[in-house]
Amino acid sequence: SDSLTVGELAKKLYREPSEIIKKLFMLGVMATINQDLDKDAIELICTDYGVEVEEEILVDTTDLEVYFTEDKEDLLGERPPVVTIMGHVDHGKTTLLDSIRHTKVTAGEAGGITQHIGAYQVEANGKKVTFLDTPGHAAFTTMRARGAKVTDITILVVAADDGVMPQTVEAINHAKAANVPIIVAVNKMDKEGANPDRVMQELTEHGLVSEAWGGETIFVPISALKGEGIDSLLEMILLVSEVEEYKANPNRPAIGTVIEAQLDKGRGSVATLLVQNGTLKVGDPIVVGNTFGRVRAMVNDLGRRVKEVGPSAPVEITGLNDVPQAGDRFVVFEDEKTARQVGEARSSQALQAQRSEKTKVSLDNLFEHM
Ligand code: GDP
Ligand code: MG
C-alpha cells in the first residue's frame, strides 16, 4: 500500500504520534492518529526529520501482493500459458476439458493415473499448456473479486446448435474486464442443426469479430464429444502465446495463487497451487492466504510425486497449518522465520477481522430489535 496512518508512521520513525500531529499542524495539515497519510505527506515528514524515505517504509510486509514484483527482463524465460474454459451451461466445457486431457495426457502417460487437482497440463508441439479445471465462472468471479489474475487466455465455448446465451455474454464480460484474450471454440459441430455462421454473427454484436470476417478473434470449429478440432484449438492457443509472450523467472522463490483447497482426513490441509512465477520446491517455507507452513509433499496433475515445479505448473501441496481459500495468494520465503512471522500476522489479522465482523453483525441485530 502507498499510505500509512499517522500512528504507523510515528512507529516507523520511533516518535510519538502527537509529535507527528504537531508537525503536520505546523505544515498546515490537521490530522488525527488514525488518519491516512499519502506518499507526499509521508515524504514531507520524513524529510523534516532528516530521514530518507526508502520504498521500504511504505511496504506492508503482511500484504502478500507486495511480493508479486516484476523481474528484470533478462531474468525471464518463456512460460506456458494458463487457459480457462468458459461458456454457457451445457455448451460442452466439461466435455472439452476431458477431451483435451484424454487425447493429450492419458495417451502419452500409459498407466499414469490422472487425478483431479483442479488443473492440468498438456503438451502440444513440444510446448506445455496449463488448463484450469475449476468451473470457469466461479474461478473468474471469486478470484477476480479478490484481485488475483490467473488466466492468460479464455476459451469461450459456444454450442453451434444453440448460439450465444446469457452465460456466454457473462463470460465475454469477465474476460474483457480482466483483459484476457478470447479464443472462440464453436462446439458441437457434429450435430445436426449446427450453425457456426449464426454463432459468428451473434458474437459480432459483442465485439468478437472473426478473422474470417476481417476481425481479430480466432474461431475454431470443434466437436468436443468426438475429439475433432482439438489439435487446431491447441495450435491457436500456442499462436496467441507466441504473440503475448508469457514470461516468468524460474530462478526465484515461487509466488502464485490457490486454485482449490480442502481438508483431507489423512493428509490434512491439501491445496492446489498455480505457480505463477519462480520455482516451488519441497521444503519451501510458504505463506498461503492466512495460513503458512512448509511444503511437505507435492503431487502433480498426473498423480506423481515431484520435488519441484516451475512457472505455470499446477501442483497439489501438503504441509500447511490450515486450509486456505481458492483465490488466495501464496508466497515462498527464503527462511522459515519470516514465513512464520508473516503467516502469523496474517492469521491474527484475519481472526481480528472476523471478530469485528461478528461484533458488527451482533450490533446490527441489536439495533434491529430495538
Ligand atoms: P458444460 O455444462 O458446458 O460443462 O457442458 P457438458 O460438457 O457437460 O456437455 C453438455 C452436453 O452436451 C453433454 O451431454 C455432452 O455430451 C454434450 N456435448 C458436449 N460437447 C458435444 C459435442 O461436441 N457434440 C455433441 N453432439 N454433444 C456434445
Ligand atoms: Mg460442466
pTM of the model: 0.81
Residues placed in the known binding site for GTP: 87-94, 133-137, 187-190
**Mean pLDDT across the chain, nearest whole number?**
88
Tell me which of 79-83, 113-117, 193-197 is least confident.
113-117
Tell me which amino acid residue 279 is.
T
Q: Residue 110: count other Cβ atoms within 10 Å of its Cβ.
A: 6
Any ligand 1 atom below 6 A from CB of 94: yes
Report how far residue 128's alpha carbon sits from residue 313's, in angstroms, rounded to the nearest whole number. 9
- Report the complex ipTM: 0.99
pLDDT confidence tier of residue 57, bands split at 50, 70 and 90: low
Do the beta carbons of residue 4 and residue 37 sit within 8 Å?
A: yes
pLDDT confidence tier of residue 283, bands split at 50, 70 and 90: very high
Query: Going by C-beta distance under 8 Å and a sequence separation of 6 or more, which residues neighbour residue 46?
Result: 13, 52, 53, 57
Tell me which of 83-92, 100-109, 184-193, 318-327 is least confident.
100-109
Any ligand 1 atom below 6 A from CB of 89: yes
Q: What is the 3-state secondary structure (H, E, C) of 27-61?
A: CCCCCCCCCEECHHHHHHHHHHCCCCCCHHHHCCC
CA of 153 from ligand 2 middle (Å) equals: 19
Closest listed ligand to the CA of 135: 2
pLDDT confidence tier of residue 322, bands split at 50, 70 and 90: very high
Any ligand 1 atom below 6 A from CB of 233: no
Nearest CA to ligand 1 atom 11: 90
Residues placed in the known binding site: 87-94, 133-137, 187-190
Any ligand 1 atom below 6 A from CB of 190: yes
CA of 116 from ligand 1 middle (Å) equals: 20
Q: Which residue from 201, 315, 216 is spatially nearest to 256, judged by alpha carbons?
A: 315
Report how far residue 172's alpha carbon sits from residue 84's, in angstroms, rounded to the nearest whole number. 12
